[in-house]
Amino acid sequence: MKYDYLIVGSGLFGSVFAYEMTKRDKKCLVIEKRDHIGGNVYTEEEHGINLHKYGAHIFHTDNKEIWNYINQFAEFNRYTNSPVANYKGELYNLPFNMNTFYKMWGVKTPEEAKAKIEEQKREANIKSPSNLEEQAISLVGYDIYEKLVKGYTEKQWGRDCKDLPAFIIKRLPVRFTFDNNYFNDLYQGIPIGGYRKIIEKMLEAVDVKLNTDFFEDREKWLNIADKIIFTGMIDQYYDYCFGELEYRGLDFEFETLDIENYQGNAVINYTDRETPFTRIIEHKHFENIESDKTVITREYPKTWQKGEEAYYPMNDDKNSELFAKYKQLADKEDNLIFGGRLGMYQYYDMWKVIEEALKLVKSLG
Ligand code: FDA
């Protein structure tokens, strides 16, 4: 065999794995079906601005080891994610905190805010929440649910909140302080110069073939290395023998504008049901880039069709059962390991993907 490892997919999982194994003197080949490395964290420069080509990517973690790990590949800025919600022209701070409560109800103290939420919970008379709507109302009250959760969530998942499981928002961030920092994690930031540079560094000493789809020459790739790390879709690998796993799709609409500052914030969520996009990203604000132009992206959630880019796994009962069947097949493989968000059919934040890849490296010795 020519290589120790064939790594299918140059996303964060495949790239961390390839970097670590190359460091351990293993010969690695990465094949990637897209025309660029990096998978969904890929950024591309335009007018000096690093564009997040597959949606906003903010690095955040509580894990010091992973934070130190990623910092060896780039310097991170001190970006703090503080999205704003636009509901039919009214602006609210996110996550739900004293600024949001003040704007919504005019309450000025945590006691007043808690009392207001309690009052709305009582009125809704929900004992044990059985769906997302009831879960949200019991966490933040009716007004916030109606203006800031309902429309956004229904667009995101393409279903009525009454038909969505409660667990999706089990941990809605709610704070009784005047703090617009979205994440509770100790570490967060954006890599200065974009994520692309991180992946380029990881793959510097690795053989990489772009525009190369594993399925177009399966026999060849199955015989090129001792072991395969597969970060593509697990159901596709098994020819959808048990059926297709479902995803939520996304369309990104990019627009370059001849103005310096379009919306004054990196992320603005549009939380009403009627606006067809869920958010607008203004990329320059991730890195405080000075430029007389700006680039924005509108994000449209959509029903996913086979063959399109898959974004969010639909981890409901039906799909979880289906994935369990594929996982049983995967567990019987000797020289094939599935990894990453498509291989594990799991939404993973970036830090978690890195942790998983490092765990795998360790387990292989
Ligand atoms: P990823 O999908 O990136 O890589 C898989 C690669 O395999 C792709 O490049 C694909 O083309 C390739 N491939 C697939 N099949 C193949 C085949 N048959 N042959 C060859 N190549 C093949 N996380 C976070 O921490 N903070 C954030 O703000 C965000 N934001 C965010 C926004 C959106 C819209 C999404 C969808 C996701 C996020 N994430 C995130 C999550 C983040 O994107 C995720 O953790 C990593 O990109 C996952 O990396 P993987 O390598 O697992 O998959």
Range of the domain at 134: 98-169
* Residue 211 Cβ < 6 Å to ligand 1: no
| Residue 196 sits in the same domain as residue 323 | yes
107 and 55 belong to one structural domain: no
Report the run of H or E that residue 99 belongs to, with start and end: helix 98-105
Q: Strands 3-8, 84-87: parallel, antiparallel or unpaired by DSSP?
A: unpaired
65 and 162 both lie in a single domain: no
Mention every residue, 6+ apart, whose C-beta is less than 8 A from residue 197: 73, 74, 191
**pLDDT score of 293:** 97
Q: How many domains would you assign to the chain?
A: 2
* Ligand 1 mutation target, pool 10, 19, 231, 344, most atoms within 8 A of CB: 231
Does residue 163 share a domain with residue 69? no
Which of 285, 336, 350, 354 has most ligand 1 atoms within 8 Å of its beta carbon, as the pocket-test mutant?
A: 350
CA 234, CA 212: separation in Å to the nearest integer?
Answer: 17
Q: What's the token pair of residue 40?
A: 């969904």
Q: List active site positions.
A: 171, 175, 248, 279, 299, 347, 349
| Cβ-contact 104, 92 below 8 angstroms | yes
Give the residue, by CA position, lying nearest to ligand 1 atom 29: 57
Say if residues 252 and 299 touch (Cβ distance below 8 Å): yes
What tokens does 99 get? 């600024």
CB-ligand 1 contact for 8 (6 Å cutoff): yes
Q: In this predicted structure, what is the pLDDT of residue 127?
A: 84
Chain segment 105-137, per-residue pLDDT in tens: 999 999 999 999 999 989 998 888 999 999 999
Residues of the chain with pLDDT under 70: 1
ipTM associated with this complex: 0.99
**Over the stretch 71-85, which tens digit does the pLDDT of each residue have?**
999 999 999 999 999
In a domain, 299, yes or no: no
The residue among 108, 135, 169 that closes a domain is: 169
226 and 319 part of one domain: yes
Residues 344 and 342: their CA atoms lie apart, in Å, by 5
The alpha carbon of 63 and the centre of ligand 1 are apart by a number of angstroms equal to: 20
